[in-house]
Amino acid sequence: MTLLDPESVVRMPGPWEHREISANGARFHIVEAGEGPLVVLLHGFPTFWWSWRHQLTSLPEAGYRVVAMDLRGYGGSDHTPHGYDPTTLSHDVAGVIRSLGEPAATVVGQGWGGLVAWSMAVLDPDVVTGIAPVSMPHPRRLRRAMVRDSIQRRQALYAIGFQWPFLPERSLMARDCERVETLLRSWSGTPEWPDAETALVYRSAFSLWPTAHCAVEYHRWAVRSLLRTDGIRYARRMETPIEVPVLHVHGERDPSVLLRTAEGSGEWARDGYDFHVIDGVGHFPHEEAPDRFDAVLHKWLEGLHAR
């Protein structure tokens, strides 16, 4: 396979504008479209801002200012040697919101981006008007499942394998990032997604070094934090009740994060919690079924801004 130029892929043209924003000691690549209340979109592993291409069109049409950003270590954002813990990532997004000249935003995040959204509601609540985690339980709920649920633990074995030095990065980069496509297909709940063109885009973007190393660092922190002081401290902080509205979206067929793991996350929400399961999709509902995902998100956003 011949990959696309990763620099060109990261700056894919479309009905949006590419910008660079400095925040929290790093530089972040963002893609912006529309005017109105700010909605910030955060991707997960192993994707980048482009995973929100459908919402970058639909949300501006609905009257929102939309910003999709590359998280630290991905795409066009800085690939720093450290900073892949939820606290730093939360402060990254909070800093971007402030740098955009907005007092607060609604934060929508999928996968790791969903973990950041949950974290922001506790660690940076002043810049959050509401959160919409996608394919990601509340961090306390996820931690509990990883300890008690053997099937969920088995589904996360890939992250255990990421604890080795050097080898995970080589595995992800081998054969033109073939494993990236393998992960996308294995976590999808629909055989049609991703198609060959979509898989090529993600493989090409991931080939931009050191994205593979930075993406693995997220998972290294997650596993090691189960026993480390900083991870225990973070888990205790996340016991704090969430005082903003929450839309929690999960794919019925998600094989990576089980539906039963996601259930019960409303235990920590104190200002409205809407749990919505999208039938027939897996870990990437915003891409596998963008129209159905957008219908859920738009309805919730309308209610949020009518309060």
**Can you give the pLDDT of all 307 residues of the chain as single tens digits?**
799 999 999 999 999 999 999 999 999 999 999 999 999 999 999 999 999 999 999 999 999 999 999 999 999 999 999 999 999 999 999 999 999 999 999 999 999 999 999 999 999 999 999 999 999 999 999 999 988 999 999 998 898 899 999 999 999 999 999 999 999 999 999 999 999 999 999 999 999 999 999 999 999 999 988 888 998 999 999 999 999 999 999 999 999 999 999 999 999 999 999 999 999 999 999 999 999 999 999 999 999 988 7
Q: Is 1 domain-assigned?
A: no
Nearest-angstrom CA–CA distance, 133 and 45: 14
Q: Is 247 domain-assigned?
A: yes
**pLDDT confidence of residue 226:** 81
**pLDDT confidence of residue 228:** 87
Sequence-separated (6 or more) residues with CB below 8 Å from residue 282: 187, 188, 189, 190, 251, 253, 254, 255, 256, 288
Q: Is 196 domain-assigned?
A: yes
Q: Is 126 domain-assigned?
A: yes
Residue 17, H or E segment: strand 17-23
Sequence-separated (6 or more) residues with CB below 8 Å from residue 290: 54, 55, 58
Q: What is the side-by-side strand order in the sheet with 38-42?
A: 17-23, 26-33, 65-69, 38-42, 105-110, 128-134, 246-251, 273-278
Q: Is 238 domain-assigned?
A: yes
- The total number of structural domains in the chain stands at 1
Place of tokens 């919101």: 97
Nearest-angstrom CA–CA distance, 277 and 252: 6
Sequence-separated (6 or more) residues with CB below 8 Å from residue 115: 86, 109, 133, 136, 139, 142
Q: Is 210 domain-assigned?
A: yes
Q: Is 192 domain-assigned?
A: yes
Q: Residue 131 is encoded by which pair of tokens?
A: 């959160």
Look at residue 195 and give its three-state secondary structure: coil
Catalogue the long-range contacts made by 79-86 (C-beta closer than 8 Å, 24 or more residues apart): 79/210, 79/211, 79/213, 79/214, 80/26, 80/214, 83/26, 84/214, 84/217, 84/218, 84/220, 84/221, 85/221, 85/225, 85/230, 85/234, 86/115, 86/116, 86/119, 86/123, 86/139, 86/234
**pLDDT confidence of residue 73:** 98
Place of tokens 């063109």: 197
Q: Is 281 domain-assigned?
A: yes
Q: Residue 40 is encoded by which pair of tokens?
A: 């910030």
The amino acid sitting at 74 is Y
Contact 169, 213 (CB under 8 A): yes
Residue 138 sits in which domain range?
A: 6-305
Q: Residue 64 is encoded by which pair of tokens?
A: 């929102």
**pLDDT confidence of residue 41:** 99
Nearest-angstrom CA–CA distance, 84 and 222: 9
Instruction: List the CATH number of the domain containing 252.
Output: 3.40.50.1820
Contact 127, 105 (CB under 8 A): yes
Q: Residue 21 is encoded by which pair of tokens?
A: 């924003």
Pairing mode, strands 26-33 and 17-23? antiparallel
Contact 92, 71 (CB under 8 A): yes
